[in-house]
Structure 1
């Protein structure tokens, strides 16, 4: 196989390489079905924050909703634009920072942040800015819906110097790629520092990507949401809307503007 030298050029993050990102984050039918159904309950306008390459934005639009996708990465937005064009889908795509954004008075019946993307917020200021920005863009009966994995003590206490296999992917040009990771958890900030090491059969560790993920424990989630003027009204343990219990893998949260009648699960 011929090696394309440009493939191995250094990039700042995984979000600079949508071709690799999409392979590491394949389609999740259960997630897509949940968000399409939950947005369909309100209808109207939907804002998909941290929309990436459009893996959820496009199914939302195909369901008949009026969808805007927002992301910080110009590369991811361009891939979303090309994917939408290939499927004859009309998308409104905006480059923004979800910690502080202003869409000129536009409001939405549903605002979505999927695939743990809310965990890229780290500080209380980040969360407050995010939730306040969302609150300004919700229609009177609008909802914020997002998912975040439940912190796993066994993973957080893993050896920070020991690599674990994340998985393997097959790239169109480079063939099979193996991805390994190390994780170091900072209990003071509740941030996991994750390094991914990428290798082909001919080039070990051709790329190293770093990401940080905030861990949000169940008891603090309602407090963070309230910091920006929203309230947690319902919480599931998975995309099948099952109750959140000790063995759940994630928190799927539905939020509304503070002051509405609430039911916290």
Structure 2
């Protein structure tokens, strides 16, 4: 009986998703004025309709709407979308929201002048089929002169080689109901799939590891990014090394991609 209970607990922990707990997610993804300004400015350049894919709790959808842009936020998680709707109401804006899978979606012939995938969300795509489905779906929803804009971590070999058995402290945050919470992570990199398997452990003062969530993220190296974009029929038009639109270099922390038809 104890073995069965232990097994059930392990399975439950492994299946947890950070996106099932928007209250915890938002603590680890606070507002970032630099990121928001970049995406608002680049969306304004083309005007028209904006699609914010993997919008989560509306962290970027709401600032886009506050800037007067016509924006729809799309996400796979119903819990995150509900949080996003609450966030929008609290800020007196009314963007649209729709539940969708960014690997394969159809919004009934609607097209957009800018499609955004922010905060490394594109790295939730793991296989070539995932990327082909994503870029293909985006292509079907871009206006003729429209642009897809997304950011992704630039792989760091030192980070990929961290000890998979060692917990690292990510930070301490304050939850409205649970008080001070520490967040730790372990990470294991699979060089064959290029996926970094991250597990986050959440502990309060009264309960250690009350929540564990897996966060597997694909690493995309700079030379393969244009090939993945092309696999879905798009082309990489421009690439930056940061949100100030500086050049991509070996020292860059991220690659910010602008793609079109």
TM-score band w.r.t. shorter chain? over 0.9
Identify the match of residue 199 of structure 1 among 197, 203, 206.
203
SS at match of 2:259: strand
Identify the match of residue 56 of structure 2 among 48, 52, 69.
52
Q: What is the CA distance between 1:203 and its match in structure 2? A: 0.9
Q: What is the CA distance between 1:239 and its match in structure 2? A: 0.3
CA distance in 2, matches of 1:207, 1:146: 29
SS at match of 2:37: helix
Identify the match of residue 68 of structure 1 among 72, 85, 90.
72
Structure-1-length-normalised TM-score: 0.93
Q: Does 1:235 align with 2:233?
A: no
Structure-2-length-normalised TM-score: 0.94
Unaligned runs of 5+ in 2: 1-11
SS at match of 2:84: helix
CA distance in 1, matches of 2:16, 2:211: 10
1:44-64 deviation per Cα after TM superposition (whole angstroms, max 9, x unaligned): 100000000001001101111
RMSD: 1.0
Q: What is the CA distance between 1:12 and its match in structure 2? A: 2.5
Question: Which residue number in structure 2 is paired with residue 168 of structure 1?
Answer: 172
The 5 A counterparts of 1:15-30 are: 15-30=19-34
Per mean C-alpha deviation after superposition, the further-off stretch among 64-73 and 10-19 is 10-19
Q: What is the CA distance between 1:91 and its match in structure 2? A: 1.2
Which structure has the highest helix share of the two?
2
SS at match of 1:198: strand
Q: Does 1:107 align with 2:111?
A: yes
Q: What is the CA distance between 1:201 and its match in structure 2? A: 1.2
SS at match of 2:238: strand
CA distance in 2, matches of 1:177, 1:52: 21
1:196-255 deviation per Cα after TM superposition (whole angstroms, max 9, x unaligned): 111111111111111100000000000000000100010000000000000000000000
Q: What is the CA distance between 1:138 and its match in structure 2? A: 0.2
CA distance in 2, matches of 1:44, 1:200: 45
Unaligned runs of 5+ in 1: 1-8, 258-265
CA distance in 1, matches of 2:110, 2:222: 31
CA distance in 2, matches of 1:75, 1:45: 25
CA distance in 1, matches of 2:231, 2:210: 42
1:17-47 deviation per Cα after TM superposition (whole angstroms, max 9, x unaligned): 1111001111111100000000000001000
Q: What is the CA distance between 1:139 and its match in structure 2? A: 0.3
Q: Does 1:43 align with 2:52?
A: no
Kept in 1, the 8 Å contact 2:16–2:212? The answer is: no
Identify the match of residue 138 of structure 1 among 139, 142, 154.
142
1:155-197 deviation per Cα after TM superposition (whole angstroms, max 9, x unaligned): 1001000001111100011110000000000000000000111
